[in-house]
Amino acid sequence: MFIDEVKILVKAGDGGNGCVAFRREKFVARGGPSGGDGGKGGDIVIESNPHMNTLLHLRYTPQFEAERGRHGEGSNRHGRDGKSSLIEVPVGTLIFDLESGENLFDFQEPGQRFSVALGGRGGRGNARFTTSTRQAPRFSTPGREGRKLRLRLVLKLLADVGLVGFPNVGKSTLISRLSAARPKIADYPFTTLEPQLGVVALDVERSFVMADIPGLIEGAHEGHGLGTRFLRHIERTRLLLHLVDVSEPSEGDVEKNFQIVARELSRFSPKVAEKPVIVVASKVDAVSGSDRLTSLQKFCFDTQRNLFEISSQTGQGLKELKEAIWKKLQEISRASQPAEEENATLPPAEPKSPQEVASTER
């Protein structure tokens, strides 16, 4: 089951209390105060795990509490610190404070750690309060409470390429042919009910991650169809593959279908609408005498868009499409890197002679 949003309660451990004690031993005339400090409470730590792709494990354990610190004891024995509680989440998870709505952290790389709730500090024992004028303090301080938070965790999948388009345009079949992903494939709308990730390998050194997003329909940004539930998963992609069905059994004008999906993406997020797009004419093996492919070719030529004609069933055009995707991803990577300064740092100028300085001043 794919779960991409959960709400949990986290409670860091309380600090242990300080101890009030006095040293009483044989042959020790003036033992004095010997109360130890309390231990620090455990933290709530969240870590990104690259081997996870859903928040399902948090749905059935909505509450996490770290261990409290132990109390201080006599003979200046300090309490042990409480153990921290570790919560693992997939890469791409955002942490929000449920009450304030503040974005606390965004896990974009594997192995990142974030202490979302710190444990309480341990109290001080009476031995800490000994002074020259107060040699037998009979008080200590309690440990502080650990932080308690209600969190909302939202997962946005991290992928290089996102597949978008109407339902049943061949997105699932394409990702199954290009990668090891095995999504459900059928001839009815909304077969794909959850995003699917697949690693597409061109060779040993070149690969990228592709995400199959459930089909979009008109009004998706308002909740129609599967609505905005999965639209957020394409916000992190670097490139969009817009599939258009050009086979004879499909319905609707190809240009209109393309513009409907593009409009839904822009209404959901202007940043998504600005992403680079490669248009893919799918199911070209089922084209026979239809002008749907010709209409799409003319539309892409007029709007200066890249168009690739493929058939996931026969394998036509898949190799060329993979190479084009890789080339486009490399262009995007180079464009996103900070531009190098045009003017390189020049070597320090040689000191001028007194005659040159005088001529310059005149």
Q: What angle do CA 43, 89, 172 make, to 5 degrees?
A: 175
The pLDDT value given to residue 273: 82
**187 and 145 in a common domain:** no
Answer whether residue 352 is part of any domain. no
The pLDDT value given to residue 116: 95
The pLDDT value given to residue 2: 66
How many CB atoms are located within 10 Å of the residue 103 CB?
Answer: 11
Whether the per-residue pLDDT at 28 is higher than 80: the answer is: no
Answer whether residue 354 is part of any domain. no
Separation of alpha carbons 33 and 329, rounded Å: 69
Q: Provide the whole-model pTM.
A: 0.69
> Quick one: angle between helices 254-268 and 292-302, nearest 10?
50
Separation of alpha carbons 207 and 199, rounded Å: 7
**171 and 131 in a common domain:** no
Answer whether residue 342 is part of any domain. no
Residue 355 phi/psi, 5-degree rounding, is -65, -40
Last residue of a domain, which of 100, 135, 155? 155
**184 and 304 in a common domain:** yes
Separation of alpha carbons 116 and 49, rounded Å: 16
Give the DSSP H/E element, type plus range, for residue 271: helix 270-273
Answer whether residue 241 is part of any domain. yes
The pLDDT value given to residue 295: 87
**171 and 135 in a common domain:** no
Which string of DSSP letters, residue by residue, matches 307-361? Answer: EEE-BTTTTBTHHHHHHHHHHHHHHHHHHHSPPPPSSPPPPPPPPPPHHHHHHHH
> Average model confidence (pLDDT) for the chain?
82
- Look at the chain and report how many structural domains it folds into: 2
Supply the CATH number for residue 144's domain.
2.70.210.12
Supply the CATH number for residue 288's domain.
3.40.50.300
The pLDDT value given to residue 292: 82
The number of CA neighbours under 13 Å toward the Cβ of 192 is: 30
Answer whether residue 255 is part of any domain. yes
Domain that holds residue 211: 161-335
pLDDT one-digit tens code per residue, 179-190 = 876 665 655 455
Tokens of 190: 């909304």
Whether the per-residue pLDDT at 18 is higher than 80: the answer is: yes
**284 and 263 in a common domain:** yes
**131 and 271 in a common domain:** no
Q: Report residue 147's pLDDT band, with 50, 70 and 90 as the boundaries.
A: very high
**309 and 292 in a common domain:** yes
How many CB atoms are located within 10 Å of the residue 270 CB?
Answer: 9
**314 and 169 in a common domain:** yes
**18 and 95 in a common domain:** yes
Separation of alpha carbons 191 and 214, rounded Å: 8
Higher-confidence position of 119 and 362: 119
Answer whether residue 360 is part of any domain. no
**185 and 150 in a common domain:** no
pLDDT one-digit tens code per residue, 108-124 = 899 999 999 999 999 99
Q: Cβ(253)–Cβ(290) under 8 Å?
A: no
Answer whether residue 343 is part of any domain. no
pLDDT one-digit tens code per residue, 68-108 = 999 999 989 999 999 999 999 988 899 999 999 999 999 98
**282 and 196 in a common domain:** yes
The pLDDT value given to residue 73: 93
Q: Report residue 150's pLDDT band, with 50, 70 and 90 as the boundaries.
A: very high
pLDDT one-digit tens code per residue, 335-357 = 877 644 444 444 544 544 444 44
Beta bridge partners of 199: 209
Answer whether residue 351 is part of any domain. no
Separation of alpha carbons 239 and 217, rounded Å: 20
What separation, in Å, do the N-terminal and C-terminal C-alpha atoms of the chain show?
83
Separation of alpha carbons 212 and 228, rounded Å: 15
Last residue of a domain, which of 96, 124, 155? 155
**32 and 4 in a common domain:** yes
Tokens of 171: 């997105």
261 closest CA partner among 179, 148, 166, 360: 166
Q: Give the position of tokens 């004419």.
A: 281
Separation of alpha carbons 285 and 265, rounded Å: 28
**What's the maximum distance between 2 C-alpha atoms anywhere in the chain?**
109
What is the 8-class DSSP label of residue 33? B
